[in-house]
Structure 1
Amino acid sequence: MESPAEILPGVIFYSYLSSERKEKACIWNHHTLVLQVSGQMVLETSEQNLTISAGEVLLIHKNQLGTLIKTPEPGGQYETVVISLQEDLIRKIILEEKMEAYGKYFGLPNLIIPSDDFLKGYFQSIVPYARNSGAEMTDEMGLLKVKEGIKLMLMAVPELRNFLFDFSEPYKIDLEKFMLSNYHFNVPVEEFSKLTGRSLSGFKRDFQKTFGMPPRKWLQEKRLNEAKHLIESKNKKPSSIYLDLGFESLSHFSQAFKKRFGKAPTLDI
């Protein structure tokens, strides 16, 4: 079985690892529920750093960029079940259950859901499907599981109605603040435009007004200047920073650095 494996295509996933992995530039286009089966996961965004361990549940807000650090248990594995709470699925559940939001959500974007006996039981009911690659979950059963998960979360934290049932598009946010906090994520300009609530053309226009240059050029300059600062002032090794600054490979970073500053960074090879 591959990792991650789709238990219900596009909705429920199972991930397992035997060694630590850091995943940069994760994009959450939908609200996402993470059930930590074993091991530990660290979520890092521009606003929050959260750690969850075995038996804990994390709810991630849609329209975010972040980093995940996945660490297996000592001598064991890392396992999670991830449920993508897609908008059309939530709308269907709302109509069937006659639910509605109380108002706009103003809380933190990512929350560890307090665990209780009901959520623990829910947890245990999904894990066998995840671990058994031969077990098939039908669309109907998958919808029931997602619906059950939402209802149990709302029982535990009623104010999550406003979190889950917010179907508004990303509003036009402060472009300068967002880019200065997220420039190091290696994602296409098109994704940056969506996450700031703009069309691609609107994003490029506002970006030029804000920073005085096109997005791709600014991103390259910003990342390289930060790399130069980290190497010269913080004694960081190029191999330890290039991924964190949005470069795809060490060779790509070295070539860009040499072109910008006239010399290659000191490489630990």
Structure 2
Amino acid sequence: MISPEEILPGVLFYSYLSAVCKEKVCLWNYHTLVMQLSGTLTLQTATQRISISAGETLLIAKNQVGTLSKQPPPGGQYETIVISLQEDLLRRIALEEKIAANGKYTGPLNRLVPVNEFLQGYFKSVVPYARESGVEMTDKLGILKVKEGVTLLIDALPALRDLFFDFSEPYKIDLEKFMLHNFHFNIPVEQFALITGRSLAGFKRDFRKTFNSAPRQWLQGKRLEKARYLIQHERKKPSAIYLDLGFKSLSHFSYSFKEKYGVSPNQLTS
């Protein structure tokens, strides 16, 4: 089975990992619902760390960047179902059901969904499409399933009405605060622009005003600065920190570090 496999393209996904522990950086452009079937999923953002295990459900709000760690159970397989609550679909639901936000959402961006028999029944109805090889969900049925899920979520957590159905234009978030909290995530500059509510040109312009530097240069410098601190003051090994600081390989990290500081990271550990 391919991992992840789409049940309904762009909306419902079935992730299947056999005895493999994986970690990756993710950017969520849409509100996302994750139901854990087996194994453990850990979400780490700049402000929250949440883990869920089999039978639990996590809601991840849109316009965030973070790390996902997927851990299969001992001797077992990692399984999860992911539902992407895309804005076009939420707008359609809002029009059909005459739903509108009551105000600005002020709750946590990521939260465990309280378990109730209705949501349990809902997810059980989706599982067969994921587990039965060759079974495909039609667009019409898929939209109905997403609509049903959104309705049940709002019944369980009424505040989500303001999260799901606020279609106002993204506001420009505090660039300095956001970048200082999220510089270590290895995502393209274009994605940083999107998530901070700016065009690429606007992001570069605001970035230079804020940091007096181009984004890529600042990001590399900040990551290397953090690396030096971790190696010198917390005695971390270069091999243990380079991925967490947004470098794709140890060799690239070592080269960049030596170019900036004149010594290799390993020389600082000796």
TM-score bracket, normalised by the shorter chain, equals over 0.9
**Is the contact made by 2:100 and 2:166 (CA closer than 8 Å) also made in structure 1?**
no
Counterparts of 1:169 and 1:54 in 2: how far apart (Å)?
36
One-letter amino acid matched to 1:139: D
Write out per-residue CA displacement over residues 184-222 of structure 1, whole angstroms, 9 at most, x where no aligned residue: 011111111111112222211221121111111110100
Q: RMSD over aligned Cα, in angstroms?
A: 1.4
1:21 matched residue in structure 2 = 22
Bigger drift between 118-127 and 168-177 goes to 168-177
Structure 1 moving runs of 4+ over 3 Å:
none
Name structure 2 gaps, 5 residues minimum: none
Letter in 2 for 1:116: N
Q: In structure 2, what residue type is equivalent to 1:128?
A: P
In structure 1, what is the Cα distance between the partners aligned to 2:130 and 2:183? 35
TM-score of the aligned structures, taking structure 1 as reference length:
0.96
Work out the CA distance in 1 between the residues paired with 2:263 and 2:169: 45
Q: Within 2, Cα distance between the matches of 1:157 and 1:213?
A: 43
SS of alignment partner, residue 75 of structure 1? coil
Q: Give the aligned partner of residue 87 of structure 2.
A: 87
Select between 167-176 and 111-120 the one with higher mean Cα deviation: 167-176
Q: Indicate the residue corresponding to 1:125 in structure 2.
A: 125
1:244 aligns with 2:259: no
Pair 1:233 & 2:233 matched: yes
Looking at structure 2, the residues matched to 168 and 238 of structure 1 have their Cα atoms a distance apart, in angstroms, of: 44
In 2, Cα distance between the equivalents of 1:121 and 1:73? Answer: 24
1:42 aligns with 2:50: no
Bigger shift: residues 154-163 or 95-104: 95-104
- 1:170 touches 1:194 (CA, 8 Å); kept in 2? no
- The answer to whether the Cα contact below 8 Å between 1:36 and 1:80 also exists between their aligned partners in 2 is yes
CA contact (8 A) 2:40 2:70 kept: yes
State the percentage of identical aligned residues.
64
Question: How many pairs were matched up?
Answer: 267
1:58 aligns to what? 58
Structure 2 counterpart of 1:22, one-letter code: E
